[in-house]
Amino acid sequence: MRWAGSSSTPSLKGVKLVRTFGDGTTRRAALQVVDIDLFPGQLALLMGPSGSGKSTLLAVLSGLLQPDSGQVLADDDGTLRDVWALTDKEREQYRRKHAGFIFQGYNLFPALTARQQLEIVLKWGEGAGPAAAKTRADEMLDKLGLAKNRHKKPAQLSGGEKQRVAIGRALVKNPSFMFADEPTSALDWENGQKVIELLRDAAHQRGASVLCVSHDHRLLPFVDVYYHLDDGRLERRALPSE
Ligand SMILES: Nc1ncnc2c1ncn2[C@@H]1O[C@H](COP(=O)(O)OP(=O)(O)OP(=O)(O)O)[C@@H](O)[C@H]1O
Ligand SMILES: [Mg+2]
């Protein structure tokens, strides 16, 4: 079922975003005046060469990295708020409540088992009780084909299994915004498809806005909109079906 609220009002707007790194002769613009609108119920794909600024854009939109200029306007229970005008504490609360992030390098806690990686998000982010957190963590691990791995720590998991735990951790709290940085890069096509379907469900069935970075053109038929970033400049491109 397509999410009924799929609408023409963006839930997240990046406005004239500029971000540079370094200074003097090493100064380099990772984002050069990027405008982007993300809509509820939409799965957007972001492609582009290595070093073109994809991870930088995700970090800026998700409130992790401050832009040099421009705004990130995010829907917070009906009001558009400038994420970078919030205090650090407010921004942290906003991120915890609304945003899920799958990092390019997994960012799992080495000392925790697969189940604990998910439980901690539910307990800490939502104040879920231990029994509810355990049930929801196990349901998500099941969906990702990780039921047998729930008691393993990252060092005991393969690259693809770690990647799926990181995906589960981002999805388990049902975020309004999902930022996924190459979530399928360590997976075979069958598992990659499962993951993109979960991201699509988050958008189409729950109304989340999902922005997914990938180099894999096979994902194009699964997505609603496709952006290309090249040298910090963003362009919307037509999908094969358009
Ligand atoms: N912390 C940093 N300090 C200095 N330069 C940085 C930093 N982070 C990113 N950059 C530079 O900004 C540019 C964009 O980097 P970014 O990580 O956003 O690229 P990307 O499109 O995600 O690449 P990849 O596909 O390899 O992950 C690159 O030239 C990179 O070297
Ligand atoms: Mg990157």
What is the domain count for the chain? 1
What sign does the CA torsion over 39, 239, 101, 130 have? positive
The C-alpha angle with vertex 39 and arms to 38 and 44, in degrees rounded to 5, equals 60
In a domain, 151, yes or no: yes
* pLDDT surpasses 80 at 242: no
Domain of 227 in residue numbering reads as 12-236
How far apart CA 175 and CA 202 sit, in angstroms, is 8
Return d(Cα 207, Cα 224) in angstroms, integer: 13
Q: Which residues pair with 97 in a beta bridge?
A: none
Nearest CA to ligand 1 atom 24: 50
- 151 C-alpha to ligand 1 centroid (Å): 34
Structural tokens at position 23: 């200074």
**Strand pairing category for 209-213 and 43-47:** parallel
Ligand 1 binding site (Cβ under 6 Å of any ligand atom): 21-22, 28, 30, 48, 50-56, 104
In a domain, 2, yes or no: no
Residue of higher predicted confidence among 35 and 2: 35
Atom of ligand 1 nearest to the CA of 22: 4
CATH code, domain with 194? 3.40.50.300
75-122 tens-digit pLDDT: 877 788 999 999 999 998 888 888 898 887 778 898 999 999 999 989
Residue 242 belongs to a domain? no
Using the predicted structure, report yes or no on whether residue 4 has a pLDDT greater than 60: no
- pLDDT the model gives residue 55: 94
Closest C-alpha residue for ligand 1 atom 10? 21
Query: What does the pLDDT average to over 3-10?
Result: 64
Q: Does position 209 have pLDDT exceeding 50, yes or no?
A: yes
- Amino acid 6: pLDDT: 52
- On whether residue 176 sits in a domain, the answer given is yes
Q: Is 37 in a helix, a strand, or coil?
A: strand
How many other CB atoms are found less than 10 A from the CB of residue 93? Answer: 13
Which of 19, 23, 28 has the most ligand 1 atoms within 8 A of CB, as the residue to mutate?
28
Nearest CA to ligand 1 atom 17: 55
Q: Does the structure show a pLDDT above 90 at 1?
A: no
Q: Is residue 6 part of a domain?
A: no
Residue 239 φ/ψ region, left for φ over 0, alpha for ψ in the -120 to 50 degree band, beta for the rest: beta
Q: Residue 56 C-alpha to ligand 1 middle, in angstroms? A: 6
The pLDDT value recorded for residue 138 is: 97
**4 assigned to some structural domain:** no
132 alpha carbon to ligand 1 midpoint, in Å? Answer: 39
Ligand 2 midpoint to CA 55 (Å): 4
What was the pLDDT predicted at 3? 54
Tell me, in angstroms, the distance from the centre of ligand 1 to residue 32's CA.
13
Residue 153 CA from chain centroid, whole number: 23
Task: Round to whole Å and give the CA distance between 131 and 28.
Answer: 49
Q: Is residue 28 part of a domain?
A: yes
When pLDDT is cut at 50, 70 and 90, the band that residue 2 belongs to is: low
